[in-house]
Amino acid sequence: MRNFKTWAGHRAVVTGASSGIGAEYARQLATLGVNLVIAARRMDRLQALALELSSKHGVKVDCCQVDLVAPEGPRVLFDFATADSQQVTVLINNAGLAKYGSFLEFPYEDHFSTLAVNSVAPTEITYRFVKHMLAHRKQSYVTQVASIAAFQPVGNFAVYSGTKGYLMYFSESLAYELRGTSVKIMCLCPGGTYTEFFEHSGQKITSSGRKTMMSSEKVVRLGIQAMLAGKVIFVPGFLNQLACFLPRLIPRHLGQFFAAKAMGRAVEKAS
Distance CA(45)–CA(223), nearest Å, equals 23
Known active-site residue 231? no
Judge contact between 49 and 56, C-beta under 8 A.
Answer: no
* CA–CA distance, 151 with 255 (Å, rounded to integer): 10
Rounded to whole angstroms, how far apart are CA atoms 70 and 60?
27
Rounded to 5 degrees, what are φ and ψ at 25? -60, -45
The whole-angstrom separation of Cα 14 and Cα 21 is 10
> By C-alpha distance, which of 180, 93, 173 is closest to 134?
180
Respond yes or no: is residue 160 known to be catalytic.
Answer: yes
Catalytic residue among 164, 166, 184, 231: 164
Beta-strand pair 267-269/233-234? unpaired
The active-site residue out of 25, 100, 141, 160 is: 160
Determine how many CB atoms are found less than 10 A away from the CB of residue 185: 27
* Active-site residue list: 160, 164
